[in-house]
Structure 1
Amino acid sequence: MIATLGLAALWLAAALAVLQLVGAIVTLRRADNPLGAVVRSVAAVQGGLVAVSFACLIWVFLETDLSVKLVSENSHSLKPLLFKFAATWGNHEGSMLLWVSIMALGGACVALFERRLSEPAMLATLAAQAFVSIGFYAFLLIASNPFARLDPVPTEGRGLNPLLQDPGLAFHPPTLYIGYVGLSIAFSFAVGALITREVSPAFARAMRPWVLGAWIFLTLGIVAGSYWAYYTLGWGGWWFWDPVENASLMPWLAATALLHSVSVLAARNALRAWTVMLGVIAFSMSMVGTFLVRSGVLVSVHAFAVDPLRGQFILALLAINIGAALTVFALRAASISEGERFALASRETALVFNNVMLSGILGIVLVGTLYPLLAEAMGARVSVGPPYFNAASAIFAVPMLLVLCVGPLLGWRRDRLSRLTWKLWLPLAAAISAAAIALTQGVSVLSALGLGLGAALIPASMLPLVGRNLRTAKLPLWGMVTAHLGVGLALIGMASDSALTREKLIAINVGQTVAVGPWQIKLARIAPVAGPNWTALEAGIEASYDGAAPIKLAPQDRAFWAPPQQVNHSALSTRWNGQLYVVLGQQAEDGRWQLRLWWKPFVILIWLGGLMVALGGLLALLGRVASDLRRTIAVDKIAFRRKKQGR
């Protein structure tokens, strides 16, 4: 019954999406069409129906309704409740329904609360949103029905991939999807502005909160996913340039460029065509990521789809949505002026330069991700890994970070670089000192450069506060400072992990001690333990830092039975200056136990910096929303007074 209700709600939502598209298009052609009055309401009801559909899917997973094929293939009656809940999107069909649900709810919020755009621009935006949604509804209902039934009903489910049976599954995918779908809203705004030729500061102010929100959630999703993979997979790395990782990074890079561009358009009426183009590109990268992860072209813990029909369907959606948007852009771009001009020495120029650098990094990642897939499709096997990505990205990242130190200090429209000389001595001194010290320790040039740039960004990020009254400084300023400070900290963490990590792979007997970095590691015991749906061998580790009192760690080698799979469960100890990482391996023929040990100085700064970047975005969002709300209230007051005086 619940599954039937969920499927019915999904069909009704798809029908309303068609009505929303038709009503908006007809009204754009004939303003007096009565359908125009219901387009907003249709979008709102559509969001409610999809929310009901997704709630039904959660329900059947929590109840372990094995008559639903998706539940049977991805859940188990003995699985912990949290993983039953998270398994709703820990599969292909459920993750796509989550995508559509967030998209529909986002469209409903635009329809209900957005009042800054003209009515034609709003109708065009909702038409674009409906156009995108219809494709995904068709994909779900034709190729990936999440409510498909089984007959006969199996006695037990297969269970969830053990690598996904982690609390990170409850956080990482939803945050990424909110980011992806937030970019779909920005895409719809961009297409709507192109159709109506209303690329203006008002359009940018309406679009900006969605871009900021999407960027915040993308940042949180990437940070959470990085840390999840770091401690779950047991290989001690936080980023490997895997195609699935790149699938989330590419939209983030485009969204970062879009965020800065839309802010310039909103505040200074410049970069009109650039902003619209980035809105299209950002969502395009979300679609490319969806194709990579959901089409079956990748073999990954994330890549649930193996049916070629699904891959072809997503590829068709990608071609239709992005092709249509680029066609509209090509037809309308000539009529969009770039707005106000600015001097070479200005904050706008710094933002444009860094946007170009971000686009360069995006191109590097896109080519490095797709080239091996295209080569394999043609019968050749090519591997593109960290050496390519690190070196090629650095070509664009280094000048971008240098300009990031200077850009926020420049004035709008026109400035003089000589005015900033005295402000830059501290970042310069920090960069030279950090890089010089690193080089004397024998680290690579790239790592030393990263440490130097990170050290420069920390004081440079706070320089915009110099000379200001901190009590009256606006939230967007604090957001910019916090985000840029987070970039500096994350950069130091990345460079430190690359340059200073100490690793040891060793086989020892119970009772023996081994050193890694400043740590003394003793294997005290090996004992069997059991969890709710797994058994494990657990190592009792006594770890002493630099002669201090030992702490206890318990890495495990777990064996899941639904489905059967062996998984390493690492043990971590975090200090202010780094993290100890311990993984238990197999027992050798001579009775010794394999241990893999890492001492990672300052690695935690990677994720702390990432969280600060997201916090900076949140502060900026709150400040912008508050400012827009005050502006709306002021405009409404003026309109009310005029109306009263007219009477």
Structure 2
Amino acid sequence: MTAELGHFALILALCVALVQMVVPMVGAHRRWSNWMAVGDMAAAVQFVLVSLSFAALMWAFITSDFSLRIVTANSHSAKPMLYKVTGTWGNHEGSLLLWVLILALFGAMVSWFGQALPAALKARTLAVQAAVAVAFMLFMLLTSNPFDRLEIIPLDGNDLNPLLQDPGLAFHPPFLYLGYVGLSITFSFAVAALIEGRVDAAWARWVRPWALLAWVMLTIGIALGSWWAYYELGWGGWWFWDPVENASFMPWLLAAALLHSAIVVEKRDTLKSWTILLAILAFSFSLIGTFIVRSGVITSVHAFASDPTRGVFILLILAIAIGGSLTLYALRADRMRSPNAFATVSRESALVLNNVLLAVSTVVVFLGTMWPLIAEALTGEKVSVGPPFFNITFTPFMVALAMLLPLGAIMPWKRARLGRSMQPLWGMLALSVALGALVWSLQTGGRMLAPIGATLAAWIILGAIADLAQKAGGWRAKPSIAWARLSGLPRAEWGKAVAHSGLAILIFGASALTAWELEDIRTINPGESVELGGYTFTLDRVEQVRGPNYFSDMAFVEVTRGGEYVATLNPEKRLYPVQNFPTTEAGISSGALRDLYVSIGDQQPDGSWAMWTWVKPFANWIWAGCIIMSLGGFLSLSDRRFRVGVAKSRSSVAVPAE
């Protein structure tokens, strides 16, 4: 009965979404306030109904209701409770319901917290958001019903994919979807603005916090996925340019560009057309990511094994959402030109260049991801595009972006002088280069990757410090005056400095790890040792242990340095008997400056074990950088300007209805 209630609630939610899609839009066109007000009530009701549907599905997983096809295919009575709960979204149908739940949540949040929004803009935004929800609910009910019953109820289920039975990946999808789907609101704002024909500083101020929230959630989601791949897959890497990794990375890049472009619209009332396009493209790439994950056209450890025919439905959604919004953009964008001009050397120009670098980087990743599919369709031959391509083509744009950040942040609006803007940064640049030279002189090899990473990281962090110092009145300002000015800075300024510093830490961690990691692969007998990077890894023994729903060969590897005990690592080779699926659990000793990383393979005929050993310098700096970037985003979101009514804009551009 619970499943039927969930199914019925989902159907009712679809009906409410249809009302929300039509009535507020008509009301906004006719200027009927009572019709526009329907959008607020419908958004809240839709969220409640979808929440009930999702709760019903989760209850089916918790209680192991194997009469549901989805529970039988993705759960088991012996599975730990955490993974029974998270198994709700560890499959195609359940994750799609989570997607719709978050869509409804963001629509409801606009209804709850958008009291200061112009009534017509709010009504149109809620209507567009509902249209996206209608498309996905139809997709789910027609092709991917999570409440589909089985005629014959089995005694037990097939278990969840063992790779997903991990805390890191358990919480990875919700954060990722909060980012993916969060961009739907910026998309809805953009389409609503195009329909209304009005884009101004007030609109940008409303869009920025939603774009920032989506970007922060994407950052957390991507970091969780990277962390999971690092310790769960046992391959020693943290990023492989997998198609599904790229599917989340592309919207992240465009969301970052959207954030910076919206700043220009808010502060200078220009770049309106470009900002609207970025809002459309960011969510469009989220939809493309959905197609990549769910269509069955690619094979990935992250992808849902799904019927390729569902990809046709997703392509239809893509065609309507992307094609329709871009067509509307083509009709309206040329009428949103701003009369405000800016010099070639200015903060506006720096932000435009920032946007170009991020957008071109996205195109590079997109082409590398889709080229194997395109080549196979055109020639019939299978080709692969691996990490070397992405590293060579993507890295230069990120280096250029890192070089630009401090200068762009410190430049004045409208018109700047390059020499004057660089004046507070020359000392920081000298310190950064000196640090890079020191790193180069201390390293044992001649690779330039780590010194370049250290230079760029120091340049970004010291540049952020210089920017704050300028806002405090300069290095010679009295401490009391400097403190008063810094205390009065908007939190968004502090958030910007923290987020940029997080990016710097990530850059250094990635470059240092890539340049300096040490690796050893061999077969080893119990009692034998491996010397690597000054550490001695001794395989003491391998024991068979039993988990709640798996069997494991657990190794005990003692690590010493200079004869002193460091750690005991316990890499595992697990077997989940329900699916007869093996997984590798790495043994890791984490530290601020290095990780000691060991994974084991199968036992050899002679009784030895395959063992991979790594010493990974600064590995945790990668995820620390992501955490700091997220904290910077949350700090900016707490800015009072994002929590109170929108200030009256200086100017706006109205477009006559066509």
TM-score class normalised by the smaller sequence: over 0.9
Q: How does 1:143-292 map to 2 (within 5 A)?
A: 143-292=143-292
* 1:537 alignment partner, SS class: strand
- Deviation of 1:157 after TM superposition, in Å, equals 0.2
Any conservation in 1 of the 2:6–2:52 contact (CA below 8 Å)? yes
Aligned to 1:627: 641
Query: More displaced, 18-27 or 1-10?
Result: 18-27
Aligned to 2:468: 465
Distance 2:643 2:389 in 1: 46
1:360-393 superposed Cα distances (whole Å, 9 cap, x missing partner): 1001000000111122233111111111111111
Q: How does 1:184-583 map to 2 (within 5 A)?
A: 184-338=184-338, 340-378=340-378, 379-437=380-438, 439=440, 441-467=444-470, 468=472, 469=483, 470-583=486-599
- Deviation of 1:433 after TM superposition, in Å, equals 3.1
- Deviation of 1:512 after TM superposition, in Å, equals 1.4
Aligned to 1:30: 30
Distance 1:588 1:433 in 2: 50
Distance 1:55 1:67 in 2: 17
Any conservation in 2 of the 1:160–1:562 contact (CA below 8 Å)? no
Higher relative contact order (CA 8 A, sep 6+): 2
- Deviation of 1:446 after TM superposition, in Å, equals 4.4
- Deviation of 1:563 after TM superposition, in Å, equals 1.6
Any conservation in 1 of the 2:169–2:224 contact (CA below 8 Å)? no
- Deviation of 1:438 after TM superposition, in Å, equals 5.0
What residue identity is the alignment partner of 2:270? Answer: A
Query: More displaced, 516-525 or 356-365?
Result: 516-525
* 2:504 alignment partner, SS class: helix
- TM-aligned CA distance change 1:26 to 1:474, over 3 Å: closer
Any conservation in 2 of the 1:462–1:485 contact (CA below 8 Å)? no
1:197-231 superposed Cα distances (whole Å, 9 cap, x missing partner): 11011111111111110000000001111001110
Any conservation in 2 of the 1:501–1:601 contact (CA below 8 Å)? yes
What residue identity is the alignment partner of 1:575? Answer: G
Distance 2:313 2:194 in 1: 27
- Deviation of 1:496 after TM superposition, in Å, equals 0.7
What residue identity is the alignment partner of 1:542? Answer: E
Distance 2:431 2:162 in 1: 45
Any conservation in 1 of the 2:24–2:38 contact (CA below 8 Å)? no
Distance 1:39 1:458 in 2: 45
Distance 2:95 2:32 in 1: 40
- Deviation of 1:41 after TM superposition, in Å, equals 0.7
Distance 1:36 1:188 in 2: 16
- Deviation of 1:335 after TM superposition, in Å, equals 1.2
What residue identity is the alignment partner of 1:462? Answer: I
Q: CA RMSD in A?
A: 1.6
Any conservation in 2 of the 1:212–1:617 contact (CA below 8 Å)? yes
- Deviation of 1:443 after TM superposition, in Å, equals 4.2
Aligned to 1:640: none
Aligned to 1:617: 633
Distance 1:247 1:547 in 2: 46
- TM-aligned CA distance change 1:339 to 1:218, over 3 Å: farther
- Deviation of 1:123 after TM superposition, in Å, equals 1.8
1:139 aligns with 2:152: no
Distance 1:461 1:360 in 2: 25
Any conservation in 1 of the 2:121–2:193 contact (CA below 8 Å)? yes
Distance 1:180 1:613 in 2: 18
In structure 1, runs of 5+ residues without a counterpart are 636-647
Any conservation in 2 of the 1:143–1:309 contact (CA below 8 Å)? no
What residue identity is the alignment partner of 1:40? Answer: D
- Deviation of 1:432 after TM superposition, in Å, equals 2.5
- Deviation of 1:630 after TM superposition, in Å, equals 4.4
State the aligned residue count: 632
Distance 1:312 1:473 in 2: 51
Q: How does 1:589-600 map to 2 (within 5 A)?
A: 589-600=605-616
What residue identity is the alignment partner of 2:266? Answer: A
1:401-438 superposed Cα distances (whole Å, 9 cap, x missing partner): 11112111111222222223342234322443344355
Aligned to 2:480: none
Aligned to 1:642: none
- Deviation of 1:170 after TM superposition, in Å, equals 2.5
- Deviation of 1:444 after TM superposition, in Å, equals 3.4
What residue identity is the alignment partner of 2:90? Answer: G
Query: More displaced, 385-394 or 236-245?
Result: 385-394
1:290-318 superposed Cα distances (whole Å, 9 cap, x missing partner): 10011111222322242122111111101
Q: How does 1:62-77 map to 2 (within 5 A)?
A: 62-77=62-77
- Deviation of 1:37 after TM superposition, in Å, equals 3.2
What residue identity is the alignment partner of 2:641? Answer: S
Distance 1:546 1:417 in 2: 53
In structure 2, runs of 5+ residues without a counterpart are 473-482, 649-658
- Deviation of 1:39 after TM superposition, in Å, equals 2.2
1:430-481 superposed Cα distances (whole Å, 9 cap, x missing partner): 4433443555543434454333212322212221121413333321111111
Distance 1:522 1:77 in 2: 38
Any conservation in 2 of the 1:272–1:339 contact (CA below 8 Å)? no
1:114 aligns with 2:117: no
Any conservation in 2 of the 1:443–1:499 contact (CA below 8 Å)? no
